[in-house]
Amino acid sequence: MMENLNFQWILQDKDMRQCLLVQKMLKYLENKWCVLNKYAEDIGKLPSSVQYACSRSDCTAVDYGGSCNKLDGDGNVSYAFNMYFQMNGQDVESCIFDGLAQIVEKDASVDNCLFPIGLESVGVRIGLDAILNTLVGFFLFLTLLKNKIIKFAFQCHVLDICFV
């Protein structure tokens, strides 16, 4: 499983004082992709399977003007299957499609078209570290409130969120 320190958030008040720094660890799912099984027998079910996958995930990249709109037919099907598979946390059951799909460990990306890997759900990571992080964050928030760094007087628009 890949871990990636991906972004930091800094909250600043109207006087540009740094109030809070939070680092977020993103954890990716395993290097697995769901693609069209080229040896599938009942290809008559392809249109309904692709429709099902795209109606329950995001296939906009294969639309006209999208980053993956130059894929061939097999590529479009594989992209749809993979998006559904990733959106469902790589659940093996989400890559069946009546035998039309298969799970592979070789990156299915084609040229400039990235076949994404999903992010691990927060629910999967619940454990002692998640509980400790929550408690530390809560006490940090209370400390900030006590020191009046964050003011709640219906002036939420005073705080700006900045990326580092």
| Alpha helix (H) residue ranges in the chain | 46-55, 73-87, 128-146
Cβ atoms < 10 Å from Cβ of 107: 11
Query: What are 81-110's pLDDT values in tens digits?
Result: 999 999 999 999 999 999 999 999 999 999
33-118 maps to which CATH number? 1.20.58.1040
pLDDT band (50, 70, 90) for residue 131: low
Read out DSSP for 101-142? EEEESS---BTTB----PBPPGGGG-SHHHHHHHHHHHHHHH
Structure tokens at 57: 């995930």
CATH 1.20.58.1040 positions along the chain are: 33-118
Q: How far apart (Å, rounded) are the C-alpha atoms in residues 33 and 81?
A: 9
Does the pLDDT of residue 80 top 90, yes or no?
yes
Query: What are 10-56's pLDDT values in tens digits?
Result: 444 455 554 444 445 668 899 999 999 999 999 999 999 999 999 99
Predicted TM-score (pTM) of the model is 0.62
